[in-house]
Amino acid sequence: MAQVIIYSTPTCPSCIMAKHFLKSNNIKFIDKDISLDKEALDEMMKKSDQAGIPVIDIDGKIVVGFDRNRLKKALGLD
């Protein structure tokens, strides 16, 4: 199983949808709340070179935003 980290905030609609998608596909993930964790924010910015959320790291593959098709492909759910 892939290691999945999602950088998000609790009030971001796209973040909520991305987490729901992961949960509904039984994908375990680490949720890093960048609104509370400055180190997580810095980590996310270094990985993605931008500040849009969510940023989803799937074994080093970075998906920015909630893109169901890119997530399926990165997770091997096709």
Quick check: is 21 in a domain?
yes
End-to-end CA distance of the chain: 15
Whichever domain contains 14, its CATH number is 3.40.30.10
Alpha carbon distance 8, 22 (integer Å): 13
Quick check: is 24 in a domain?
yes
State which residues form the domain around 37: 8-75
What does the pLDDT read at residue 33? 97
Quick check: is 36 in a domain?
yes
SS3 state of residue 64: strand
Band of the pLDDT at 78, cuts 50, 70, 90? confident
Count of domains forming the chain: 1
User: 0.85 exceeded by the pTM?
Assistant: yes
Quick check: is 49 in a domain?
yes
Quick check: is 1 in a domain?
no
22-70 pLDDT tens trace: 999 999 999 999 999 999 999 999 999 988 999 999 999 999 999 999 9
